[in-house]
Amino acid sequence: MHTLAHFSDPHLTSLADVDARALFDRRVLLNKRLFGYLSWRKRRRRVHRREVLDVVVADMVSRAPDQILLSGDLTHVGMPAECEVAARWLRSLAAPDRLRLVPGNHDRYVAADWHDTLGLWSDYLEPAGAPRWPRLWQCDEICVIGLDCAVPSGLFMATGTLGDAQIERLATMLKATAQKFRVLMLHHSPLPDGHVWRKRLTDASVLMRVIREFGAELIVHGHGHGEHFSVLPWRKGNCSVVAAPSASHAHDGRAGWNLFRIDKQGAHWAVSLEKRRRVDGRMQSAASHRWLTSADA
Ligand SMILES: [Fe+2]
Ligand SMILES: [Fe+2]
């Protein structure tokens, strides 16, 4: 039995100490970070609460999962100071050999120096130095494949893109690991209609073609701040697509994480999903699903 905890979109940082004048750039009339900051002041700071995240994470850690999967959006506007705070939080959460991370669109909100921003998380993202996605984390018969779809996008846009080269490397990786339980993790939904247009994964249809051909057993993602569960048929089996909600969402019942138990039983993988949600300030199991998927890919 292998256990995977998945959570997403903690948006754990605060912009309370940010001077909006420092964000204003005369060279850029429509400054995305400035608009992001204003959005945080107006709404997001009340939606994403650190005290909620702390309850969710404590519940997750107490279950001692074999691996923890985090599908991005640790920050609000990807500023160096936010990335520093998030780096310290990551180190307090789990060691890099247990915590798998992919970035979200808010972490690469605008083009920025890698060393001052995502490079601060390199122990978790790109320990070998040269960024080359997808990343493969192998743990016995479980392969976690991390995809990077976080790209800076235009004002009021929150799209993601994988790119042809990454999808090509993914196809090779899926072929090479076909005998394993393959978990794909990315920030955006892999489904072409997974999000509204301005938040979509722009090359989802290309990704879908690769998944339908080479398969995967499970895809986890975030970005929408809501739950999702669907089954994607591929050439030799079925792949479950499961979204986790935002782990810091202040509204009752909205914040939480997902626990997957994976067990090989003969020619099948037996998978169970337990949804842990924060209700009335306390964590509880909201629902569970069980399914079998072929281990004979
Ligand atoms: Fe998010
Ligand atoms: Fe996002």
User: Taking the domains of the chain in order of start, what are their residue ranges?
Assistant: 2-294
CA of 235 to the centre of ligand 1 (A): 32
- Are 220 and 185 in contact by the 8 Å Cβ rule? The answer is yes
Q: Which helix (H) or strand (E) holds 169?
A: helix 164-176
Ligand nearest to the CA of 157: 2
Q: Ligand 2: distance of its center to the CA of 23 in Å? A: 21
CA distance 48 to 248: 5
Ligand in closest contact with the CA of 48: 1
Angle at 290 between CA 284 and CA 291, to 5 degrees: 155
Q: According to the model, what pLDDT value does residue 31 have?
A: 85
Given a cut of 60, whether residue 27 has pLDDT beyond it is no
> What separation in Å is there between the alpha carbon of 246 and the centre of ligand 1?
7
Predicted confidence (pLDDT) at residue 95 exceeds the cutoff of 60: yes
Considering only 13-27, 68-82, 207-221, 238-252, which range has the smallest mean pLDDT? 13-27
* Fold topology of 2-294: Purple Acid Phosphatase; chain A, domain 2 (3.60.21)
Q: For residue 24, what pLDDT is reported? A: 67
In this predicted structure, the answer to whether residue 74 has a pLDDT above a threshold of 90 is: yes
124 pLDDT exceeds 80?
Answer: yes
pLDDT band of residue 283 (cuts 50, 70, 90) is very high
- Proximal ligand: closest to the CA of 247: 1
pLDDT (average), residues 173-199:
97
pLDDT at site 16: 94
pLDDT over 70, % of the chain: 95
Is the pLDDT confidence value at 25 over 70? Answer: no
The answer on pLDDT for 254 being more than 70 is yes
108 Cα: distance to centroid of ligand 2 (angstroms): 10
Whether the bond into 134 is cis, omega within 30 of 0: yes
pLDDT surpassing 70 at residue 54: yes
**Residue linked to tokens 């030799």:** 236
Closest CA to 177 of 212, 122, 206, 139: 139
- What is the pLDDT confidence band of residue 29, given thresholds at 50, 70 and 90? low
Compute the 3-state secondary structure of the chain and give helix, strand, coil in percent, each to the nearest 5: 30, 30, 45
Check residue 294 and give its pLDDT.
83
The Å distance, Cα 107 to ligand 2 centre, comes to 8
pLDDT exceeds cutoff 60 at 26:
no
Within 71-173, strands assigned E span 99-101, 135-139, 142-146
Ligand closest to CA 226: 1
Q: How far is the CA of 162 from the centre of ligand 1 (A)?
A: 17
Ligand 2 centre to CA of 223 (Å) is: 4
Whole-Å CA distances, 27 to 30, 31, 65, 71 = 9, 9, 47, 33
Share of the chain above pLDDT 90, in %: 87
pTM exceeds 0.75 for this model: yes
pLDDT bin (cut points 50, 70, 90) of residue 232 is: very high
CA 209 to CA 217: how far, in whole Å? 15
pLDDT (average), residues 197-208: 98
